[in-house]
Amino acid sequence: MTLGTNVNVKPQVSGGGVLGNGWDAFGSFSYIKLNGNRKHNEQDLFYGYGNLGYRRDDRHETRLHVDLQDFDYEGVSAITKETAEKRSLSELEHGRPSDRFSGLSSRPTSHCVA
């Protein structure tokens, strides 16, 4: 467990072992919560990992790995709410940033609609 300023919390739990008859398992879970050092800079992160293995003999082994992650990240951006609201519906539908706001020149793209 790690604790710090700005609501910095990082607990972690892990464990594993031999289950018998060639089977073994391991699992780990961790959570990170940061409130950041300025407004709108909060993070909540969940990590889960596990694996289950089977060893038939010294030359044959198989293992199943499972990795789960959930990030809730609120990052600080230089774009203002007013600028974001000015973006056209077309730009939002196609997922392209507006050239007016990014300062980049436009590049042709092709879109495939099924």
d(CA 1, CA 48): 16
* Residue 73, pLDDT score: 74
* Residue 4, pLDDT score: 72
Q: Which sequence spans correspond to the domains of the chain?
A: 2-99
* Residue 114, pLDDT score: 44
12: left (phi over 0), alpha (psi -120 to 50) or beta: beta
Sequence letter at residue 51: N
What are the E-state strand segments in the chain? Answer: 2-4, 8-10, 12-20, 23-34, 43-57, 60-73
SS3 content of the chain, % helix, strand, coil (to 5): 15, 50, 40
**In the chain, which residues have pLDDT < 70?**
6, 36-40, 75-80, 84, 87-114
**Contacts with 28 (C-beta within 8 Å, 6 or more apart), sequence order:** 12, 13, 14, 15, 47, 48, 49, 50
